[in-house]
Chain A
Amino acid sequence: MSAVETTTPAVRKTALNAVHRQMGAKMVDFNGWDMPVEYPASIGCGIINEHMAVRTGVGIFDVSHMGDIRLAGPQALAAVQHISMNDASRLAVGQAQYSALLYPQGTFVDDVIVHRLAEDEYLLVINAGTREKDFNWVRDNTRQFDCAVENLSDDFTQIAIQGPKGVDVLQKLTDADLSAVKFYWVTRGTVCGLRNTLIARTGYTAEDGFEIYIPADEATSARVWNEILSAGKEFGLVPCGLGARNTLRLEGKLPLYGHEISDTINVWEAGLDRFCKMEKREFVGRAALEVAKSEGVIRTLVGLEMVDRGIARDGYKVLDGGGRAIGYVTSGSPAPFLKKNIALAYVPPGFTAAGTSVNVEIRGQAVGAQVVPTPFYKRPKK
């Protein structure tokens, strides 16, 4: 096992980087990764079109920058239980759950999806910007368990096929029976000729969809990407960048590390109570959360909708009626499907009820907004 991993200063690229550039994608530096933010209008893309495609049809994303940590061995479950706040003992083989890794003070190392791949094998999918931190943290906090911890982050190209038609596109390319895979379950099958490919019915768009994990070499990655594009043509599939990924997750109130959750925000403040199983006897962060619960929160994450003309952006101040700063916006954007300007913000108790009027400071002006129920968008049940 390697010593402490350090962050490489050079900008990192996924195996699909050349493909994105060839397609004319606008590239940005995202947490040290050179990633597509949107594809050109000339091929029917742009953030709004990409967002709408996922809500009403299907879109694909290169999410290979996400990290992957494998825990395997006789005490893999005990290790996962110790380092994550959800209850992994409830997972059947082939099932996945949203969870988080916490510091002893009950704040976030990262949020993760825990997949149970086999009896004693778990895969944690983690964020790009926190890859090394997460891996080091997981390794250091599981030393007492009989369980191997491997960083597989560079082994996979991860492609997300998202939207109501995602199942139709992927079914054309695999022998696995996708109708038998429920949301937040995984299966294995041949995808584009690649045997034993991990297929998870997960995503970060608040929509139905799949994420596939294929070998990270450039040729294979490009071939699979292009085969998905071709298979999706009849369903109006478009490639989507991080811009649409952000607006889609925001409509669904899915947290983003460094915004809604961080090493200074705790589980109760972030409103992630239902993924935190206090009835579990022990996990890192539990004791501090117990205390925090009895003390009560000083701020809560709420949804805002702009009432007046203006767009709340990340970091803008939230003001009360008297102009006093009471909180801040963690993520704010126009919501392309809802056609409203929405935001997530931390505000103190007393400002959390739906219908509460607040203001957002936009370029020195107090612009009217109100607290609304979240998630802003919920996908229709089939």
Chain B
Amino acid sequence: MAYPTDRKYTKEHEWIKVVGQQATVGITDHAQESLGDIVFVELPKIGAELAAGKSFGTVESVKAVSDLFAPMSGAVTEVNGDLTTSPEKVNKDPHGSWMLKMTMKNPADLQDLLSAADYEKFVAEEGGG
């Protein structure tokens, strides 16, 4: 799958898309593929302060439990409640099924994250894909 170029990626397999002051966060196609059937998503409360690189929630497949890591620091403004009842949407449309929206503490940090091309290369080197 081609990774959308309208956003940035982390080595923990999250994507972050910035429009104006607001960032939207989800997990990548590679992440959903490695996890398998996703059955449970646990997200933070609105207003929660996220710290870059720190866990902000959990995603579980039938087989495994994985932490979700914040791509950037900031405050949660919205969470995708739809995923509580239909977590399988992350498998079907990982780049459309966002998990949360946030305001960024340091918008300039965005440039430290991976481009779509770099992320694709990273995944290939990791042995996935």
Interchain Cβ contacts within 8 Å, total number = 37
**B84: nearest residue on chain A (CB-CB)?**
A309
Contact among A46, A309, A363 with B37 in the assembled complex (CB-CB below 8 Å) = A46
Within the complex, which residue of B40, B62, B65, B84 is in contact with A47, where a contact is CB–CB below 8 Å?
B62
B58 close to chain A: CB less than 8 A: yes
- Which of A46, A246, A311, A313 is the one whose CB lies under 8 Å from B36? A46
Tier of interface size on chain A? 10 to 19
Given A46-B36, A48-B37, A243-B36, A336 contacting B62 (CB threshold 8 A): yes
A243→B39 contact, CB < 8 A: no
Residues of A within 8 A of B91 (CB): 41
Q: Number of B residues whose C-beta is below 8 Å from A?
A: 14
Nearest CB of chain B from residue A314's CB, rounded to whole Å: 11
Q: Do most interface residues of chain A lie in helix, strand or loop, or is the interface mixed?
A: mixed
The proximity string for B residues 51-70 relative to A, scoring 1 for CB distances below 8 Å and 0 otherwise, is 00000001011110100000
- B58 neighbours in A (Cβ, 8 Å): 363
B28 to chain A, nearest CB (A): 15
Residues of chain B within 8 A of A363, CB atoms compared = 58
A246 to B36, CA, bound (A): 15
* Smallest CB gap from A247: residue in B: B62
A311: chain B residues at CB < 8 Å are 39-40, 60, 65
| Chain A residue with the shortest CB-CB distance to B63 | A243
Complex Cα–Cα for A69 and B62 (A): 33
Q: Which of A202-250 contact B (CB under 8 A)?
A: 243, 246-247
Which B residues are CB-close (under 8 A) to A334?
39-40, 62
- Enumerate chain A residues within 8 angstroms of B39, measured Cβ to Cβ: 311, 334
B67-118 contacts to A, CB under 8 A, are 84, 91
B37 closest partner in A (C-beta): A48
Give the complex CA separation of A310 and B60 in angstroms: 10
Question: Are B36 and A333 within 8 A (Cβ)?
Answer: no
Contact flags A46-62 to B (C-beta < 8 A → 1, else 0)? 11100000000000000
CB distance from A262 to the nearest CB of B (A): 21
A363 to B33, CA, bound (A): 24
Interface bits B28-58 vs A (CB < 8 Å: 1, else 0): 0000011011011000000000000000001
Q: How far is the CB of A246 from chain B (nearest CB, A)?
A: 8
Query: Does A188 touch B at the CB level, under 8 Å?
Result: no
Bound form: Cα–Cα A46–B91 in Å: 11
- Cβ contacts A316-347/B at 8 Å (1 or 0 each): 00000000000000000110100000000000
Output the least CB separation between B91 and chain A (Å). 7
CB interface residues, A 1-58, toward B, < 8 Å: 26, 37-38, 41, 46-48
A47 contacts B36, CB within 8 Å?
yes
Is B65 within 8 A of A243, CB to CB? no
A26 to B84: give the CA distance in the assembly, Å.
26
Q: Which of A333-369 contact B (CB under 8 A)?
A: 333-334, 336, 363
Min CB distance B26 to A, Å, is: 18
Closest residue to A51 on the B side, CB-wise?
B62
- Nearest-neighbour CB distance to chain A for B129, whole angstroms, equals 11
Docked complex Cα distance between A64 and B61 (Å): 26
Which residues of chain B are within 8 angstroms of A37 by Cβ–Cβ distance?
Answer: 36, 63
Q: Which residues on B sit within 8 Å (CB–CB) of A333?
A: 62-63
Verify B65–A313 contact, CB threshold 8 A. Answer: yes
- Of B34, B37, B40, B61, most buried by chain A (CB within 10 Å of CB) is B37
A38 to B36, CA, bound (A): 8
Report Cα–Cα, A286/B128, bound state, in Å: 51
Task: A209 to B7: give the CA distance in the assembly, Å.
Answer: 49
The complex places the Cα of A243 from the Cα of B63 at a distance, in Å, of 7
B84 smallest CB distance to A (angstroms): 8
Chain A minimum-CB-distance residue to B67? A363
Q: Nearest Cβ in chain B — how far from A129, in angstroms?
A: 18
Contacts of A26 in B (CB 8 A): 34, 36
Q: Which residue of A lies closest to B88 (CB)?
A: A48
Which chain A residues border B60 with CB–CB below 8 Å? 311
Residue from the set B34, B36, B61, B63 with the largest chain A CB neighbour count within 10 Å: B63
Q: How far is the CA of A243 from the CA of B60 in the complex (A)?
A: 14
Q: Which 6 A-B pairs have the closest CB atoms?
A: A47-B62, A48-B37, A334-B39, A46-B37, A243-B63, A334-B62
Known: A46-B37, A47-B36. 7 other contacts (CB 8 A): A38-B63, A46-B36, A48-B37, A311-B39, A311-B60, A334-B40, A336-B62
A residues lining the B interface (CB < 8 Å): 26, 37-38, 41, 46-48, 243, 246-247, 309-311, 313, 333-334, 336, 363
